[in-house]
Every structure is written in structure tokens, then in C-alpha cells.
Amino acid sequence: MKHAAQTKLNLICLFTLLWPALSWSQSTQKPILHAKEWLAITGKPLGATAGAKIFTQGGNAIDASCAMLAATCTMWDVLSWGGETQALIYNPKTKEVIGINALGVAPTGATADFFLEQGMQYPPQYGPLAAVTPGTAGGLLTMLAEFGTMSLQQILAPAMDMAQGYPIEAQTADRIEQHKEKIKAWPYSKAVYLTHLGEDREAPHEGELFVQKDLYNTLQKLVDEEATALKAGKSRKEAIYAAYDRFYKGDIAEELVRATQEQGGLITMEDLANWKVHIEKPDKVNYKGIDVYKLTSWVQGPVMLQALNMMEQLDMECLSYNSAKYMHGLYQVMNLAFADRDFYYGDPYFAPDEPMEGLLSKAYAKERIKQIGWDKNNPHTLPGDPYPHQKTKSINPYLKYIEQMDTVDVSAILPIQNIEGEEFPMEDFYSGTTSIQAADKDGWIVSITPSGGWVPAVIAGKTGIGLSQRMQSFVLNESENPYNVVEPGKRPRATLTPSMALKDGKPYLSFAIQGGDSQDQNSLQFFLNMVEYEMNVQEAVEAANINSFQMKGSFGEHEIRPGVMLIRADTPSWTRRSLKKMGYTLEVRDRTSGPMNAIFFDWDQGTMWGGSSNYGEDYGIGW
């Protein structure tokens, strides 16, 4: 009897392994990008072209990624120059993965009491009070100075050309039109964005040359400062840092602060001068022999590492790709990881110390995975207690808040109901971010998820710089997340999360995605598609993903939607029926894969394989 049962189980596993071949083994909508010299991939075709131009001029992957970052900021590709930049860099000389923390901080006066006294549940979603200090300029200048080879003038040339006029895409132009009433409240934004003020359509038209004279002048000041420093005998690196100082301490900073305060913001000269980029050691877990790297708790990156630790405990051979059981298991794993994110993640440079050792331990993952019920969704997933799994064991000082959460009546938190096939209003959930991937033949690899200052942004006077809206990712009450309560000088826990993986000590994957709270959900599934389901990189970035909305959103009013699951439109009817029986409300979309960009390193053939999903306008060029 025991042998017969095992034979039956083997047949079930064999069938479930064969089934995914029918569902995803097909030609992709975009081709794989094959290259041996370099690859440049980002959120817009013109942005990828900027990276390609730098590569053809002899730049390395750092140089090219900085040019792509500058170009996409200038194009308002879901970010601006006043936003934030997060990066992972593989240094082939040291064979180490490096983290770049260029997230802005809350300015002077931005306290919980300040916002609570104005009747707010969270810092505002838009406007001058939504702004943290600009980080992207500092991140770009630091990466270029420390790891690049070219001058700032060379790197900014494509962006400066674009600032003098580039043909704007429909996606950005239509977003300006959609938000034009908000834009009219901010005089400098109105002057830049609304090129047809008073007409029926006040935003630019698709293909119209979009000119940003003030931004061009700001970039020219940076280039001029570099040139002055070089003429004075400074090194390339010192000259780039001279431009950095002009941005954060000089006349650019003065105009940025003046105009921000004029419009009701809080940023001061001291806030800009005291802010700095951190070059960090990222977090890492090993998944079945593969080292996976993410930035630490100031972003949501460790969520994916926690999820991988839990997925490693499951019998993946019996979880076929996008079967109901697999989707359910993923949903539950992600909910457990996100419940921890929502309570334990915050700025590691501020007290209290995040319990990251415990959260990323294999023992904690084994403890958490036992909480999954395989018959139905648990709509009330709570944070766990990682403190007993810290190297220095201690008592969790915030258990009282988790106990309070346990008494919440989740039946009062109902998901938005829809007729299957209609879409939820989910713009807030997916807010912000583009992604940048670059690699070269010498082994430099860059994965970036820059964001902030997306349309509609408050433009800071004659700088032409759109300010970040990242303040909204803070909380105001300790009981919600004691590690992420707003304080001056503190970084909000952001969603931005580049990824990198090494196998046998060599680069294996570099990948990143845009999409707010969905980022690490889709990054997790991309990684499993490659590792567990043997997809190539283009199949993996186009493949159907699910998303959970059963976590506190990081934007707006931080909504939670228990039991809502995003699925792709081609999900079979029998899978949908099974999911509904498990208690899920299904949201259906034609594409659910991204936009994901990735590079796979083929060491057997000495080549790079680039993938750019068919979800948005992301684009890559290689040679």
C-alpha cells in the first residue's frame, strides 16, 4: 500500500511538471537580447539609447547606467532629478556586490506630531510636504565618481540634449493631462508641464518636443563646476564631487530650498548639506546554492529574501507553475513576508535596530512556513517574532502591538468587489519607479530602481527639478511600525528594490522591476521562473505572475485588501474556481509580468542574455 501511494504521488508530480510546459513553453513577444560586449536596458527606448551611446564611446557599465539614469529623470519616466536612487553594483575587481543608498530623508520639522496636528493619517501623497530631500543627483554623482571612468560632461550630454527638447511619449504626456488640476496648484510645475495652458488639452501632445530650459541650466551648472575643478588641477573624481557640492550646498541648493519653502515645503539648506549617500553591504540569502542580494531594511528588498527562505522549505517538484496550489502557496508566503515588512522594516541608521538577522534566518523561515494553511487564504496575516532568532537573543519590545493587531476584526476590512475582468483602481499600489540594467565585458554589473518625483511633481523653482513624493511611505503611529515613524533626517521605508544573484561565485542574474508594492512579488516569481521552471530570461520576464494586495500599501492611505489576487487573463477556468474556493477575490489583467528587466550571464558561452518584459515601454540594446 505504501509503495502504491508513492507511485501515485510520483505520477501526480510528473503530471504537474509536464503541465507548465504547455502553459509557458511558447515564443515570446519580445526577443532575447544577446550580447558579448555590453547590455543597456531601461524603462524607455530613448533611455536605453543614452546608455548605448556611452558604451560606444568606451564607457563601462557604471558610466552607461548613470547616463540612462540622467536620461530617464529628464524624460520623467516615473521619476525626476529630485527623486531617489537605489542600486546594486557588482565590482569584478573585488568580486563583491555593493549597495548604493541614495534615498532622501525627512526634512527639518517633519515630525509625526506635525502631520497629526493637521489631521493626517499619513504624510501627504502629493505636494511640497510630500518631499524628502533629493537623492538621485547624489546617487548618480557618487556612483560615477567612485566606479565610473568618464567625465560628468560626457555622462550628462544625452540628458542635456533631451532637456533642450525631446519627443515626449504618450504615456508621460497623458499622465500630465490626467493630473493637470493638481499641477495648476504649483506655479513652477504649471509652467513646465502645461505647454498648452488654456486649451482643451493642456498637456504636451505625443511626439511634441518637450523643452525644459531650467533643468538644462541646472545640468549645465554641474558640468561647469566639474570643468572649473578640472582646470584647477582636481582629479576626475574630485571634480565630480565638486559638482555634487554645488548641487547640495551651492546655488542650486539655494534655489531648490527657496522655491520649496515658497510653496509650503520644509527642506532647508542644512537638510541638503547634511544628507549623504551611503555605500553599503547588502543583505544576502542562499537559495539552493545561489546567493541572492538585496538592499536592506530601508527598502522592501529583504521581503524577497524572506520569501525565498520560505519557498526553499516547500517541495517545488510538486508545485507546478501557476497551478492553484502554487499560486496559493506564493500568496501565503508573500503575505507572511510582507506582514514582517510592514512592522519591522525602517531606516537602519536610526533606532530602534531592525531585527534583520532573525528575519533572514533559515530557522525563522521554517517557523513561519508552518503557519500556512493549504486549504484557504488566511486574511489576517500577522508579523512574526524574529527576536529569538537573532544572534544575540532578546525579547521583542513591540509584541504588545502585534497582540493588538490580533484583536482586529478583519471582516470589517473588505476587498473592493469587482466583476471578474474589470480592474481595481490600483494606481497607488503600483506607484513610481523605473529600472536600469547594465553590464559590460569587463564584468561590471549595475541594477538600479530609481524613483520619486513622478508626474505630478512639485518643481522647485528655476532648478527645473521635480521633488520626491516619498514622505508618504512613513507612518505616524508607533503601533503601526515602530521602525518607520517619521523623524527629521530619517529615510522612509521605500518599495524600491534592485536584485542580483551569484552562482558558483560568479554573476548569474541581475534584475529589477518597477511597480510599487508589487516589485518584490514579481522579482520573486521571475527568479523562481529561472531557477525552478527552467525558463530563459525572456520567457521569465514575460511569464504570468500573481500579485497579493494583502499588505499595507506604501502610498496614499496605505490600504490593505485581504484576499485580492491579481491573475493573468489566460489563467484557466478550473484554476480560477479553485482559487475562489480558497477565498480569493480575483483581479484579472492581460499582462501581469512587470515591467521587468533582467540580464542572465551565460558563462558556458561567454555571453549575456537580456530580457525586457512586454508589459510596458521598457527597452534594451546590446552588442
Digit-coded pLDDT (tens) for 612-623 = 999 888 999 999
**Residue 233: per-residue pLDDT:** 98
Dump pLDDT digits (tens) for 138-188: 999 999 999 999 999 999 999 999 999 999 999 999 999 999 999 999 999
**Residue 496: per-residue pLDDT:** 93
Q: Establish if 180 belongs to a structural domain.
A: yes
Q: Which residues of the chain have pLDDT under 50?
A: 1-25, 415-419, 421-425
**Residue 23: per-residue pLDDT:** 44
φ, ψ at 354 (rounded to 5°): -70, 135
Going 143 to 146 to 147 to 153, the CA torsion angle's sign is positive
**Residue 21: per-residue pLDDT:** 40
**Residue 409: per-residue pLDDT:** 66
Q: Establish if 618 belongs to a structural domain.
A: no
**Residue 350: per-residue pLDDT:** 98
**Residue 435: per-residue pLDDT:** 94
Domain range for 150:
40-85+101-280+450-473
**Residue 19: per-residue pLDDT:** 42
**Residue 413: per-residue pLDDT:** 57
Provide, rounded to the nearest whole percent, the portion of the chain with pLDDT above 70: 92
Going 382 to 383 to 389 to 392, the CA torsion angle's sign is negative
Going 93 to 95 to 96 to 101, the CA torsion angle's sign is positive
Q: Establish if 205 belongs to a structural domain.
A: yes
Whether the Cβ atoms of residue 516 and residue 12 lie closer than 8 Å to each other:
no
Helices (H), 278-352: 302-311, 324-344
- Number of Cβ within 10 Å of residue 119's Cβ equals 6
Q: Establish if 122 belongs to a structural domain.
A: yes
Q: Which has the closest alpha carbon to 447: 36, 69, 50, 23?
A: 69
Chain centre distance of CA 363: 28
Neighbour-count burial for 304-324, b at 16+ CB within 10 Å, e otherwise: bbbbbbbbbeeebeebbbbbb
DSSP category for residue 119: T
Q: What value does the mean pLDDT of the chain take?
A: 93
Q: What distance in Å separates the CA atoms of residue 204 and residue 196, rounded to the nearest whole number?
A: 7
Count up the domains in the chain and report the number: 1
Q: Establish if 206 belongs to a structural domain.
A: yes
Dump pLDDT digits (tens) for 364-380: 999 999 999 999 999 99
Q: Establish if 560 belongs to a structural domain.
A: no
Q: Establish if 292 belongs to a structural domain.
A: no
Establish whether the linkage from the previous residue to 595 is cis, with ω within 30° of 0: yes
